[in-house]
Amino acid sequence: MSDPILDIRGLEKTYKGGVKALDGVDLTIRRGEIFALLGPNGAGKTTLIGAVCGMVRPTGGVIEAFGKDLSRHWKSLRRDIGLVPQELSFDMFDKVIRQVRYSRGMFGCPADEDRIEEVLRSLSLWDKRDSSIRELSGGMKRRVMIAKALAHDPKLLFLDEPTAGVDVELRRDMWRQIDALRERGVTIILTTHYIEEAEEMADRVGVINKGRILLVDDKDAIMAKLGRTEAHFTFDAPLAGIPASLQSYSLHLEEGGTCLVYRGGDGTGKGKREVAEIAQIMTREGIAFTGIDTRESTLEDIFVDLLNEPEVQA
């Protein structure tokens, strides 16, 4: 495994009143990767980010960033950590460029107008630099949030639901921005509701629910381990039962015998191969089917399955 940039061990957060938002979270983030943290509302995603970024006081566990204990070296370590929160939170009456300069200064960076211009141009905000933030559209305001987070050139960037509520075009645009950041060596941890986003962007995926990490793995490995192929063979006349020659496959009949359903595979192509074999066997034996409908399970299917089986551990 490459050098970890963030190492979280046994992280706990219990709020007053007894609500346990984080329940012994162990998570290691590799340098230079894009890590997607998936989970339903209230799963603990934002609390986890808050614990690393200083908004939440953990009640247990250890966080190490860049190889150092964050609770002891928070001041020097936070210089290299950036955060784009979920909510649009800034002084709405201020100008775009002033807010970005403010963020850079607050993180201890010297004034650098060239860098500010570069950040604003990369987010298509340069033309709006002297606009009052309240005059901008929702999508542009979200870009301002990102510009503020990038102003101090963080090495580790948290994006909490970065594309929530933005249109498709802007979402794609932000994905390109995230990709560009990765190419510059920035490690990115993003939380999202959009599984498509994790599929598109992430190197690794973690699933969190009820304050516990259920699964962490490479996206492709998750698809291989938990991905499934589903195929529906349809017939005009119902089958009496599953043909003897097909007994070794994971098949069952639905819709009164007019639909033979295959569910299997492991995300590596095994499912597709078995579907092809089943079709060849039926053709060879003269079992006439009238249609085939196949689909590969998405990360979303896997995510939903995992949430329904919370006993799965990382």
Q: Is 211 in the site for other proteins (CB under 8 A)?
A: no
Which DSSP symbol is given to 245? G
Element (H or E) spanning 65, and its range? strand 60-65
Report the residue from 61, 102, 131, 270 that binds other proteins according to the rule CB under 8 A.
102
Within 48-67, the residues that bind other proteins by CB under 8 A are: 50, 53-57
Between CA 155 and CA 120 the distance in angstroms is 18
User: Given candidates 9, 68, 71, 76, which one binds other proteins under the rule CB under 8 A?
Assistant: 76
155 or 219: CB nearest other proteins: 155
Check residue 105 for interaction with other proteins (CB under 8 A). Answer: yes
Residues 6+ apart with CB under 8 A from 176: none
Task: State phi, psi for 296 to the nearest 5 degrees.
Answer: -90, 140
Total binding residues toward other proteins, as defined by CB under 8 A: 35
- For β-strands 187-192 and 34-38, DSSP reports them as parallel
| Rounded CA separation 77/309 (Å) | 37
Residues 142-171, mask of contacts with other proteins (x by CB under 8 A): ------x-----------------------
For CA atoms 182, 187, 192, 194, the dihedral sign is positive
> How far apart are CB 259 and other proteins at their closest, in Å?
52
Among 42, 71, 92, 238, binds other proteins (CB under 8 A): 92
Interface positions with other proteins (CB under 8 A)? 15, 50, 53-57, 74-76, 78-79, 81, 83, 85, 87-94, 98, 101-110, 148
